[in-house]
Amino acid sequence: MTERRAEYRVPGRAEIRQACLVPFEDPTYEPPTPEEVREAIRRAGYTGAQVGALLGVTGRTVRKWVGGERAIPYSAWRLLLVETGQAVRRLAAIATAADGQR
């Protein structure tokens, strides 16, 4: 008999899908949901106003992203991930592409 590990979900916290963390050019990329944007901000320990200042937008714009009124642009999403250390970087792909250009 094998044991299965239980998954515990904490109310109010969303998992961020791997497909949201990869670069836009990756064929597996998917845009984040408002819950994933909210979770990325929470993991970074930032307030909406701090994220707005980081990204050059207003706190109201950030509230629209996390409230689902407006989708976060890829450039803002990626900058948020990179600045907070949450981005998945495809270094092997970048190195391969750079070698091919030489």
Tens of pLDDT, residue by residue over 63-101, are: 999 999 999 999 999 999 998 888 876 554 455 555 666
Look up residue 52 and give its amino acid.
G
- Domains in the chain: boundaries: 18-100
Q: What angle do CA 64, 67, 70 make, to 5 degrees?
A: 45
CATH 1.10.260.40 at 18-100, yes or no: yes
Percentage of the chain beyond pLDDT 70 is 74
75: nearest Cα among 31, 27, 16, 11: 31
